[in-house]
Structure 1
Amino acid sequence: MTEFGYTLLGEQRGPRRLVEDAVRAEAAGFDFAVSSDHYYPWVEEQGHSPYAWAVLGAVAHATEHMRLMSFVTCPTRRYHPAIVAQKAATIALLSENRFTLGLGAGENLNEHVVGGWPHATARHRMFAEALQIIQPLLVGQTVHHDGEYFEVPEARLWDRPVEGVPIGVAVSGPDSCELAAAYGDAMIAAEPRADLVQEFEARGGVRRPRYGQVTICYGQDESRCRRTAHQQFAYLGLGWPVMSELPSPVSMAKASSAVTEDQVALTIPCGPDLDQHVAAVRKYIDSGFTHVALTQVGGESQGAFLDFAEKELLPALRS
């Protein structure tokens, strides 16, 4: 049976609000919550970007049974992989084993704050090497690593769950699917692509969870929802190869300035219509995803969305 998650989108909410939203999402019946991990918002209109790991710690303490996940953390530039492993182990303990470490190769927007952004080929090699450090640390091994990009003379996690911490790996093509199957307990994808699920399973990921994320903009006024989605999420139309390279919210806004409101509404369902929101989620279910996280556009609309999810959307999806 498919499980449904709520997105704690730090780009559009401050830290205290995110914790409050997580508590409300658990009460509404969401199975899990995922947290973005950014240094910048995508565009200035979103207006926020607190430190995700402090938020996750607070959410772990404030919730009781909803599972948690970073969605996703880049373990190559802002964070050294050995430190990512330590953070993940700590959140797993605070949440009493409700945490999955979601990892990806990152984007210039958030990682350039500590230095230059490598070419995609180098980024993928760095990501693979980071996984070689993180995975054994999380299962209790002492790591000695002298690689192309990272040096770990000696590292061991002193506080971690005995059973380790599950890892989810973001995928976009055959190479990343192979990496996810080798190092991940789950795959993560930003599009409802059945070919990624099939590739992941073919590489050895059979019967492992497959996580997706769908963006919607629920509200009673469809025209207002369309405006909000266009102001805050027009960049989705650029595609990941472009989004991963742009260095700032200003450049993201300029690059997506030609994207129209109608184009955004084709990819983000807007307004009060239950059926269109269900249809957007169903694309992932039909493509073979086992877990789907919902992202509600608009910081101030989270309360209304969570009420809608509890009373209408989640029951409809589960039926």
Structure 2
Amino acid sequence: MTRFGYTLMTEQSGPKELVRYAVAAEQAGFDFEVSSDHYFPWLDAMGHSPYAWSVLGAVAAVTERVDLMTYVTCPTMRYHPAVVAQKSATLGLLSDNRFTLGLGSGENLNEHVVVGDGWPVAAVRQDMLAEAIQIIRALHTGELTTWVGEYFRVDSAKVWDLPDGGVPLAIAVSGDRSIAEFAPLADHMIAVEPEADLVTGWDRSRTELGLPASRKIGQIPICWGPDKDAAIARAHELFRWFGGGWRVNADLPTPAAFEAASQFVRPEDVAGSIACGPDLDELVESVRPFWEAGFTDVALVQVGNENQQEFLDKVAQPLLDKLRAAAGS
């Protein structure tokens, strides 16, 4: 059964709006909600970037049913892993165990620029993430923890307020190396592309390790709107960076760099990668590759802020009905 989620896109909405959208998304019938965790928007035109953890704390207080998740937090540079362990445990309690900590190796835009450190190569970022996960797991036992590692130190730390069993961890992977490294450390998988090989490789690795089945969580932007041309224009204005892919997006340092990298992307290019307009069947078909690849959970990103409430009030429920029917959920 495929579960469908709603994305609290912090780059395109302010904090009070995001909390309001979270309530409306639960009422519309979404199964879970994920939040981006960034310091900058991808493009200046997006115009926002509130602190995800404050937003999620408020969302936990005003929702009752939906699962919550970061998509994703980088626990290596902007945040020390000991701090991530504490705040994720607090959110687990505030949400009555509805929270999953989604983790990844981060982007240059949101990490090194903020704290002034250099940006490591991908292999080092992956090693830093693996060490950070071990620290978070240790602290989520509630035991006094001291750690002296290659990248991090923890001195007599303890998380005092914890959900029973800690907080589930979902880790972003992109290929065989990251699957081999993170399948033993994670509870669930995150991936940004609907690649069946990632799912089968992840499941095979966990089976070989004797680990239980897990969620496989993806995300896809859509741009619903009553006028198709206007929806394409909005997607082009706000999401033309999307086509660069993770390997490009992870290394660009500023919104200005994303502006420059995407300056020659045309509206028709965006329309070829993001389903736009009023046709719900077209939106459904854009999501299909995820459940056909074996993903158990797919979070939708509705592009733009100005018609977000209209989408949630009028479109989300019939769209979810169509998605569930098509996916056999």
After TM superposition, the score normalised by the length of structure 1 is 0.98
Runs of 4+ aligned structure 1 residues displaced above 3 Å come to 308-311
Partner residue, 2:172: 170
Q: What are the within-5 Å matches in structure 2 for residues 1-319 of structure 1?
A: 1-112=1-112, 113-115=114-116, 116-204=118-206, 207-319=213-325
Alignment: residue pair count: 319
Cα distance in 2 for partners of 1:295, 1:195 equals 24
Asked whether the 8 Å contact 1:109–1:247 carries over to 2, the reply is: yes
Pairwise CA RMSD = 1.1
CA displacement, residues 265-285 of structure 1 (integer Å, 9 cap, x when unaligned): 111000001111111111100
Corresponding letter in the other structure for 1:91: L
Q: Structure 2: how far apart are the matches of 1:132 and 1:72? A: 17
Distance (whole Å) between structure 1 residues aligned to residue 127 and residue 316 of structure 2: 42
Between the aligned residues of both structures, percent identity stands at 55
- Displacement, 1:128? 1.0
**What's the TM-score once normalised by structure 2's chain length?**
0.95
User: Per the alignment, in what secondary structure is the counterpart of residue 312 of structure 1?
Assistant: helix
* CA gap 1:182/1:309 in 2 versus in 1, 3 angstroms: farther
Q: Any stretches of 5+ residues in structure 1 without a counterpart?
A: none
What is the CA deviation profile of residues 235-289 of structure 1, one whole-angstrom value per residue up to 9, with x for unaligned ones? Answer: 1111111111111111101111111111111110000011111111111000000
**Aligned counterparts of 1:305 and 1:253: Cα–Cα separation in 2:** 27
How far, CA to CA, are the matches of 2:316 and 2:121 in structure 1? Answer: 43
User: Offset at 1:163?
Assistant: 2.0
In the alignment, is the contact (CA less than 8 A) between 1:219 and 1:304 conserved in 2? no
CA distance in 1, matches of 2:290, 2:123: 29
CA distance in 2, matches of 1:278, 1:308: 16
- Structure 2: runs of 5 or more not aligned: none
Deviation at 1:197, TM superposition (A): 0.4
Q: C-alpha distance in 1, partners of 2:196/2:121?
A: 28
| Separation in structure 2 between the aligned mates of residue 138 and residue 34 of structure 1, nearest angstrom | 21
